[in-house]
Amino acid sequence: MIYLKTAEDIELMRLSNHIVARTLGEMAKAVKPGVSTLKLDSLAEEFIRSQGAIPSFLGYNGFPNSICTSVNDQVVHGIPSNYELREGDIVSIDCGAEINGFHGDSCYTFCVGEVKQEVKSFLDVTKAALYEGIAQAKIDNRLGDVGFAVQKKVAGSGYSVVREVMGHGIGRRMHEEPLVPNHGRARSGLRFREGIVIAIEPIINMGKRNVYLEKDGWTIRTEDGLPAAHFEHTVAVGPNGPEILSSFEYVEQILSINA
Ligand code: MG
Ligand code: MG
C-alpha cells in the first residue's frame, strides 16, 4: 500500500529532512583524515537529538548506530567503527531523522582530503544521476522513468548500477512502498500521483555491479574492491513537479569553503 501525503504531511517531512540536511552539514565539517566513523556517528546523534528529533536508523532492524558510514568499497549500510578515515578515502554518510512522526532520509558521499580525480569524476556522475532521477518524479510519469534516467546517466561511463539495494517510499515509516530501483524501463511501473513521497538514491559502483554482504549482516561491499558512491534525496511528487525535501545546501556550503 502506498500512503499518499497531504500538503500538511509534506510540510512536516520538510522539517524532518531539514534536520537531516543540517546533520549532513555537520558531517561535512567533521569529515577529515584521522576522524573515526564512530566519532561521526556520535556527532550526528548528538546533533539530531539537539533538534528534538530521533535518529531513524538507530535500532532499525537492530542497526546499532545513528548513521551508516560506508567507506571506499563499502557500498551501503556500513557500521560506524574505530576506523579512522584516511586521506584519499571516500565515505558515504547516510542519515535519517524522525520528528512529529515523519522521517527524513538523505545520503552524501564525501571525499576525505585529496581524492584521485577519477574518483571525483565518479562521484560527480553519481550525484548527477540522482538529479536526473529526481527530474522524472512528476505526476503521470512512472516509477520506471526514475530508474531509467539514473541508469542512462551512468551508462557508458564504465560504472555500474547496484541492483540489490534501492530507493523507497518514505513517510511515517522510513521504508514504505514502493521500492525505487535505479534501473528500469521508461514508461513502466507505478504511475506517479501528487502526494507520493520517495527516497531516490542511486547506489553506483565504480567498477562491476556485483556486491556481497559482510559477516556483520549489514555492510554491503563491492566484489571487485573498487569504490562505490551513494547520493540520496527525499522527494515529494508535487503539483508542479518534483519537490526535493532534503538538501545538500549545508554540505556544499561547507565544502566550497574548504575548497
Ligand atoms: Mg538513506
Ligand atoms: Mg533511503
Question: What's the pLDDT tens digit per position in 198-213?
Answer: 999 999 999 999 999 9
Protein residues within 5 Å, CB atom, of ion ligand 1: 94, 105, 107, 232
Instruction: Write out pLDDT tens, residues 145-160.
Output: 999 999 999 998 999 9
Average pLDDT over residues 97-107: 98
Q: Is the pLDDT of residue 257 over 90?
A: no
pLDDT at 161: 98
Centre of ligand 2 from the C-alpha of residue 187, in Å: 23
Cα(155) to centroid(ligand 1), Å:
23
Q: What is the pLDDT of residues 161-183, one digit of tens each?
A: 999 999 999 999 999 999 999 99
DSSP per residue, the chain: ---PPPHHHHHHHHHHHHHHHHHHHHHHHH-STT-BHHHHHHHHHHHHHHTT-EESSTTGGG--SSEEEEETTEEE-PPP-SPBP-TT-EEEEEEEEEETTEEEEEEEEEE-SS--HHHHHHHHHHHHHHHHHHHT-STT-BHHHHHHHHHHHHTTTT-EE--SS-EEE-SSSSSEEEEE-SS--TT-SPBP-TT-EEEE--EEESS-S-EEE-TTSS-EEESS---EEE-BEEEEEETTEEEE-S-SHHHHHHHHHH-
